Structure 1
Amino acid sequence: MATQRNYHDQVIVDNNLKLRELLKSLPAFCGEFFRGIEPTTSSRTRIAYGYDLSVFFNYLKSNNPKLKNVNIHDITLDVLDKVTATDIEEYLDYLKFYIDSDGKEHTNKECGIKRKLGCLRTLYKFFYKKEKISTNPASIVDMPKIHEKEIVRLDADEVGNLLDEVETGDKLTDNQKYFHEKTKIRDVAILTLMLGTGIRVSECVGIDIGDVDFKNSGIKIRRKGGNETVVYFGREVEEALLDYIEERKHIIAVTGHENALFLSLQKKRMSVRSVENLVKKYSSLITNLKKITPHKLRSTYGTSLYKETGDIYLVADVLGHKDVNTTRKHYAAIEDERRRKARNAVKLRKD
């Protein structure tokens, strides 16, 4: 009988299988690279590296006449020593816009280019450290400067309006209202949970029924990197979860999804994409000016928590940030509000 894995363990298995398929179309030496970085990287990171290296070696094959008739899987490790820093800079420029072999257009902005250069740096560092190549041109190519974007979040009144819309569905189309009647209680629970705890969408869909502890008002979740922790919820989240769990008791899930807390209409564990679409659907009813995603709900929670506590380290801990500088983005709006208040703090003339 097949072993029933939890969501996060299944994701790791699926990613490992995807990577095995990717390796068939990458140079053979990449297998050694991925085995070497396995202990220090997540399966999601390795999959991203796999796709990035596929783009890089396809670029080399297309732009180097000596590789034109060579199958990518047969490219040897010594090719890395023939690549110069200038070659890598030209590759990064190519990434801004290119068309793949299937005729599909691709673009990369600063973050995408930075990630792909980071992948090359890791590859070169690995083989350079093992003394299997004699050069490391990727290390001397400058990382692109990332221009910080304004953190988008919901205002307090928008949070209330969003939850009201999820409960009533007044602004939905007739077709949407039909399905809304079937999913309303679940949707309220998901949105309330995310707004009330700041958990990531992957953490939300990975929750099993047994992970919820109403006695201690906590939910066991798996963070990025695989660490388990407990997030605590307040009264509003508790009420929304209790309503949904009562409904969930009467739903018979598809085999293999029996433990999942949040189920789709197909009675399977909800996917990250389905929650993203859910957030997009409801948020579009309350604001046309902001593009709201599950991560924006997380930013909303981070800002609200900092406003109430003033403790940036507590916010970092609750959100599961390893670096407190990541957390600082969540209270940028608070600092801006303080600066606005300061405009009238200094009097130039007495009244």
Structure 2
Amino acid sequence: MALKYHEQVDRDNTIKLRELLSELPKFCTTFFRGIEQRTSSRTRIAYAYDLKVFFQFLIDQNPLYKGRKTSDFNLDDIDNLSVLDIEDYMEYLKYRKQSRKDSKGNVIVSDVINSRTAIKRKVASLRTFYNYFYKNQLIKNNPAALIQMPRLKDKEIIRMDVNEVADFLDEVENGDGLTKRQQIFHDKTELRDSAMMTLMLGTGIRVSECVGLNIGDIDFNNDGIHIHRKGGKEVTVYFGDEVEGVLRRYMDYRKHIIAETGSEDALFLSLRNQRITVRSVQYMVKKYAKTVTPLKHITPHKLRSTYGTNLYKETGDIYLVADVLGHNDVNTTKKHYAALEDERRRSARNKVHLRND
């Protein structure tokens, strides 16, 4: 029996994590086993990459561990680090050299410059790492908890305006702004691309949720799609008449495509008749958006932000937006749509009259 998309992703990530663990100290296995039930496989891989950078820093920069092998580290080494050591790590993250081997085995050295956001994420990973061992009384000191996290500036939420959404979908349908080479492929993918872009703009689902859809996940009786959310939750998200029309046309087309082995159930296929990938959808969005909104960096996540904005403007219900987008904490939603909330509060200033005219 073929695995579902999210099951296949978890399987591949588990295999990748085992490879990464072989490059980390043995005691790290305890940490990853301990957080398995409350983190996604993708999150655990991110932690593994971040920890790999941390131990490489100790080997390259800390005199006590200079030249040591990663496998030689133990919990006492972690326990003996100070706040100053962690601060040195944060400074190291701003700029560092990274070595890797190419396909011919040659060592390639490249520069890595991390933004404040990237540094904050790596330090947050280290905090989680330290907190686990500290709370389980396996170490006595927790210097990572004493570090002041980098302050980040609030980023402007990039989204498409109503007219830009209409122009974007027109471009997906007709492909007038594409290169001649892109237009050749566009003739073969227009129905699929229109269905995907309309679905994402009309429901706010994540790109991973979109590519993970199977044919059987579409329910036209109730105008809903069955998706697998981050964290393992399975929900039904409902779509409107515009989405239904495009989806029905694509479904009629999809019935006549013979998919490759392992992708028989996949709703959206690549030109090779395999389940389409997240990266392919990212390229798809960029390809169409740059002809419509060249000054905005539109990604699949920006389509999600566009939907959330439109839903909030129409309903004024931040809790509904949080629920539909699958945010576990409504404060996450409020943070993204704070400007709109302020706009709504401002619009209330003349709604209540204190005296009759």
TM-score (norm: length of structure 2): 0.92
Sort the Cα spacing of 1:341 and 1:314 in 2 relative to 1 into closer, same or farther, 3 A.
closer
Deviation at 1:65, TM superposition (A): 3.2
Deviation at 1:177, TM superposition (A): 0.5
- In structure 1, the partner of 2:311 is 305
Alignment RMSD (CA, Å): 1.8
Which residue identity does 1:30 align to in structure 2? C
Q: Which runs of 5+ in 2 are unaligned?
A: 101-108, 352-357
- In structure 1, the partner of 2:104 is none
Distance 1:295 1:282 in 2: 15
Structure 1 segment 325-344 matched on structure 2, within 5 A: 325-335=331-341, 337=343
1:140 aligns with 2:138: no
Work out which of the residue numbers 317, 322, 338 in structure 1 matches 2:323: 317
Deviation at 1:68, TM superposition (A): 2.8
1:273 aligns with 2:271: no
- In structure 1, the partner of 2:293 is 287
1:249 aligns with 2:247: no
The answer on whether the counterparts of 2:208 and 2:278 sit within 8 Å (CA) in structure 1 is: yes
The answer on whether the counterparts of 2:120 and 2:149 sit within 8 Å (CA) in structure 1 is: yes
- In structure 2, the partner of 1:233 is 239
1:190 aligns with 2:190: no
Q: Which runs of 5+ in 1 are unaligned?
A: 346-351
- In structure 1, the partner of 2:125 is 119
- In structure 1, the partner of 2:23 is 25
1:169 aligns with 2:167: no
SS at match of 1:104: strand
Q: Between 323-332 and 28-37, report the one with greater CA deviation.
A: 323-332
Runs of 4+ in 1 over 4 A off after TM superposition: 335-345
1:67 aligns with 2:73: no
- In structure 2, the partner of 1:205 is 211
Sort the Cα spacing of 1:331 and 1:139 in 2 relative to 1 into closer, same or farther, 3 A.
closer
The answer on whether the counterparts of 2:286 and 2:298 sit within 8 Å (CA) in structure 1 is: yes
Which residue identity does 1:287 align to in structure 2? T
Deviation at 1:151, TM superposition (A): 0.3
- In structure 1, the partner of 2:225 is 219
Sort the Cα spacing of 1:283 and 1:336 in 2 relative to 1 into closer, same or farther, 3 A.
farther
Number of equivalences: 343
Q: Between 110-119 and 201-210, report the one with greater CA deviation.
A: 110-119
SS at match of 1:226: coil
Structure 1 segment 146-165 matched on structure 2, within 5 A: 146-165=152-171
Sort the Cα spacing of 1:200 and 1:125 in 2 relative to 1 into closer, same or farther, 3 A.
same
Which residue identity does 1:264 align to in structure 2? S
| Cα offsets for 1:70-118 (capped at 9, x unmatched) | 2111212211022111110111121112111231222222222222111
Sort the Cα spacing of 1:125 and 1:330 in 2 relative to 1 into closer, same or farther, 3 A.
closer
Overall identity of the aligned pairs, in %: 61
The answer on whether the counterparts of 2:60 and 2:67 sit within 8 Å (CA) in structure 1 is: no
Work out which of the residue numbers 18, 32, 35 in structure 2 matches 1:34: 32
Distance 2:274 2:111 in 1: 33
Q: Between 239-248 and 59-68, report the one with greater CA deviation.
A: 59-68
SS at match of 2:99: coil
TM-score (norm: length of structure 1): 0.94
